[in-house]
Structure 1
């Protein structure tokens, strides 16, 4: 509860207030507020010390003096006009200063409502420990959604003010700054010096590289993630610029396309390189059906029997990440494993992958109903 209140305060009170005073002309408005505060305090003191009721001769206590000053701000007063020149000055000066400050504030609020770009620039400058996403497209849209789902915050820099994806991102509460992310003043404007990371995710490899290098020049220790369409260029950037988090779309997507095109029961696949050798990591979700001989297996037995790693298990609506070895498989369960292609094929012969469950129910994904031989 306390954490939720702090998050609400930071999102709806603290950050908008900081942004309001970081907009153009904020220094002049701040000075005006200081002058108004001084006038307010001096007015309360003047009424408390020098105001005398013209008819009764009574003086005001502190509370009455404060209330009177607030009433004067809206051209109202419950006490007669004074005779002493100093208190008369209070009666004239307080309403005038109130109109000046209130009018300036209303103009600034109106400017904010009419110019969303200025407001989002001011909001972006208040973020800390956030991720800066440069370029707004189909890939980066999913990246932003994942960042938010992980409980982190993001700021977007996009060059095209007419990008149709901007309303969606703004609906998620993410500020979008319309600018060129390669310019250092733009990165400074989104508080890159206190950012956790920056993701260059445009469709232009050279732009992404330029953004990454500019970010490293401003903040040498910042985490830089680059999207690269050219696999060779991605490798050159890794080795030549010491930016290890460079992802080539063809490198990432090739195993997935290959997996989808083959008979292998793969949901996800990606490659890795270790010691100069390249390997394939696979992930598949299986559904345990009543006829499956895996019913009654413990997860430990499943791992030992087929040489797989069980990543997650769902049973009776409860999802468990990295489940214990003693959990027993029941009909209706779901489990996610990472294994070799051979092991996945062996398991798929005993219970269908989750994505093939409908085909199994239609009789188009036959399984073995005998219990496999233990090793």
Structure 2
């Protein structure tokens, strides 16, 4: 229900943006099909002195667009002027305005540059993601789960996730980021953040500089392969520069030491880890708050059978067989593993199945 309402609001915002963009066309159309028939109705007198209705006048104006007047010729300079002016003005109006308006409204799936420019006019506080590769696509997926409006810019039509983004109806601009019109088409002036996630360090830096020039207050996140460069950019450019190697290194190192760690990251000088704990020894009988107070472990999820609790309450008592997702510093994690009788990481058997120290493998 919420998704359909959001989709309806997006359509209404898009329609308002189209009306604002084509306001000159709409005014001319109103003058042509509203004012034109009124002038004919007021001024036209047939050869036998007969008057015409507004409907007949509108019919005449419509067929004048195709050079086929439906009323007999009369000697009146206002009528003659209208008969001469309406056909070229009407053709230009229909060709340039009405057809383009209808195309943009009914063919939004085409994802052409003009459509993207109109769509982004409806956005404020959105995030611009540059790069439709694996990293860019994951960033987009995460931001969409958080309910953010997103515009994606990609240089190549055949990039890895272009088709997937289009299937998910994410606004996608195929353009060269070095073009001076590229970022303005994404309405970067009103964006809250830009993520530079292409596979080219220089291109990412150029995008960041151009974005800051257009929007000095925009938050900038840059993906860089050069770790030394990322540090310099972070200090001097006041942007969040992330090196792929620095992000991956802690996870890879800890995975090599202990496969029970599912995630790791640095929080200042502290190495934080996230791991799954199956309550077998030590943990059963303890409450969630006791695990936190004694070992510094923050329980993120408690799974009991098919029931899963996010952020379990502190008074919850852990039962045998419960599975907890716990976040802690690496030192606190090691103490908690020792308390659970699992100080050493599992030993991999010839069947590639983990054998926990102190426990026999079944089968």
Q: Structure 2: how far apart are the matches of 1:129 and 1:107?
A: 28
Q: CA deviation at 1:228?
A: 1.5
Preserved CA contact (<8 Å) 1:228 1:247: yes
Task: Using structure 2 for the length normalisation, give the TM-score.
Answer: 0.73
Aligned to 1:284: 275
Q: CA deviation at 1:268?
A: 0.6
Aligned to 2:67: none
| Alignment CA distance shift 1:192-1:334 (3 Å) | same
1:157 aligns with 2:149: no
1:35 aligns with 2:28: yes
Aligned to 1:306: 295
Corresponding pairs, count: 336
1:216 aligns with 2:212: yes
Preserved CA contact (<8 Å) 2:342 2:356: no
Equivalent residue for 1:260, pick from 252, 255, 262 = 255
Q: Within 5 A, what are the aligned runs for 1:37-56?
A: 37-42=30-35
| Alignment CA distance shift 1:122-1:248 (3 Å) | same
Secondary structure at the aligned position of 2:112 is classed as helix
1:323 aligns with 2:322: no
Preserved CA contact (<8 Å) 2:276 2:325: yes
Equivalent residue for 1:343, pick from 311, 329, 335 = 335
Q: Within 5 A, what are the aligned runs for 1:35-114?
A: 35-42=28-35, 105-106=98-99, 109=102
Q: CA deviation at 1:42?
A: 3.6
Q: CA deviation at 1:49?
A: 8.1
| Alignment CA distance shift 1:134-1:37 (3 Å) | same
**Superimposed CA distance per residue, residues 227-249 of structure 1 (whole angstroms, 9 cap, x where no aligned partner):** 11111111111222222x11111
- Between 1:7-16 and 1:96-105, the stretch displaced more is 96-105
Task: Using structure 1 for the length normalisation, give the TM-score.
Answer: 0.71
1:204 aligns with 2:194: no
| Alignment CA distance shift 1:229-1:47 (3 Å) | same
Aligned to 1:250: 245
Q: Structure 2: how far apart are the matches of 1:284 and 1:210?
A: 39
Q: Structure 2: how far apart are the matches of 1:308 and 1:66?
A: 79
Secondary structure at the aligned position of 2:181 is classed as helix
Q: CA deviation at 1:41?
A: 3.4
**Superimposed CA distance per residue, residues 24-53 of structure 1 (whole angstroms, 9 cap, x where no aligned partner):** xx5xxx43431221244346767998999x
Q: Structure 2: how far apart are the matches of 1:51 and 1:333?
A: 89
Q: CA deviation at 1:144?
A: 1.0
Structure 1 residue ranges without an equivalent (≥5): 76-80, 370-375
Q: CA deviation at 1:329?
A: 2.2
Q: Structure 2: how far apart are the matches of 1:312 and 1:67?
A: 73
Preserved CA contact (<8 Å) 2:281 2:340: no
Q: Structure 1: how far apart are the matches of 2:201 and 2:354?
A: 48
Q: Structure 1: how far apart are the matches of 2:145 and 2:245?
A: 26
Preserved CA contact (<8 Å) 1:264 1:345: no
Preserved CA contact (<8 Å) 1:349 1:368: no
Structure 2 residue ranges without an equivalent (≥5): 65-70
Q: CA deviation at 1:192?
A: 0.9
Q: CA deviation at 1:199?
A: 0.8
